[in-house]
Amino acid sequence: MAEVMRERGSVDLLDFGCGAGHFLDYLRQTDRKVRYRGLDLSARFVDLCRRKYPGVAFDCLDVMQDGAAVPEADYIVMNGVFTERCGIAYETMFGAMTGLLAKMFPYARKGMAFNLMSKHVDWEREDLFHVPYDQISRFVVGQLSRHHVIRADYGLYEYTVYVYKAAA
Ligand SMILES: C[S@@+](CC[C@H](N)C(=O)[O-])C[C@H]1O[C@@H](n2cnc3c(N)ncnc32)[C@H](O)[C@@H]1O
């Protein structure tokens, strides 16, 4: 996820669906200069993060609500936000995911990253969201940006999609 950031200089990053804020712990162990902000739909996670990380901004927000004050950032990461579908029909989940990605991309000044479960697995799990590369590429290129990378070289049964406003 951190590799969405193309530069080593100082950047603003929005951790969308930040959960318990583990990505911030990770970033603090690196030499990256990141102004981090977290956002989650869950008030329990946001309360936990505010206690764990005093002085760091966290928003508890449903970005799909009319008038939601969505924060902008150079980069937006969404880790684990779309990997489970927990009984939601595949097409319903695909529509909800693409709606959210299309809503958020304009708020990323430079790029956005999200991960999905792979179709190239020994078996698929009913509770997880396995999305074919072709289908996600068609959406990304058609509605977000043609500047994108699909990465599946890190040993998990998922892949990460990096989408950019401009070519590298
Ligand atoms: C599996 S957790 C991942 C947490 C964190 N990103 C991590 O990698 O440790 C998914 C998180 O996404 C949040 N989430 C799911 N849908 C969301 C939405 N529409 N808006 C904001 N947060 C959302 C959930 O509340 C949950 O905290």
pLDDT tens-digit series, residues 123-164: 999 999 999 999 999 999 999 999 999 999 999 999 999 999
Look at ligand 1, atom 16, and give the residue with the nearest C-alpha.
81
What percentage of residues in the chain have a pLDDT greater than 90?
99
Task: For domain 11-71, give the CATH superfamily.
Answer: Vaccinia Virus protein VP39 (3.40.50.150)
Q: What is the widest separation between alpha-carbon atoms in the chain? A: 44
Bridge partner residues of 158 (DSSP): 117
What pLDDT does residue 45 have?
98
Contacts for 80 with CB less than 8 Å, ≥ 6 apart: 17, 19, 115
Amino acid (1-letter code) at residue 156: L
Q: Residues 17-38: pLDDT tens digits?
A: 999 999 999 999 999 999 999 9
Q: Residues 42-53: pLDDT tens digits?
A: 999 999 999 999
Choosing from 25, 81, 85, 98 the residue with most ligand 1 atoms within 8 A of its CB, the one to mutate for a pocket test is 81
On average, the pLDDT of the chain sits at: 97
Look at ligand 1, atom 12, and give the residue with the nearest C-alpha.
17
Contacts for 109 with CB less than 8 Å, ≥ 6 apart: 12, 72, 73, 74, 75, 165
**For the chain, where are the E strands, in sequence order?**
11-16, 34-40, 57-60, 73-78, 108-117, 147-151, 158-164
In this structure, the dihedral spanned by the alpha carbons of residues 117, 120, 125 and 127, taken in order and rounded to 10 degrees, is: 20
Which whole number is the average pLDDT over 56-82? Answer: 98
Which whole number is the average pLDDT over 38-66? Answer: 98
What pLDDT does residue 31 have?
93
pTM, entire model: 0.98
Look at ligand 1, atom 10, and give the residue with the nearest C-alpha.
81
**Tokens matching residue 157:** 């049964």
**Tokens matching residue 58:** 């966290």
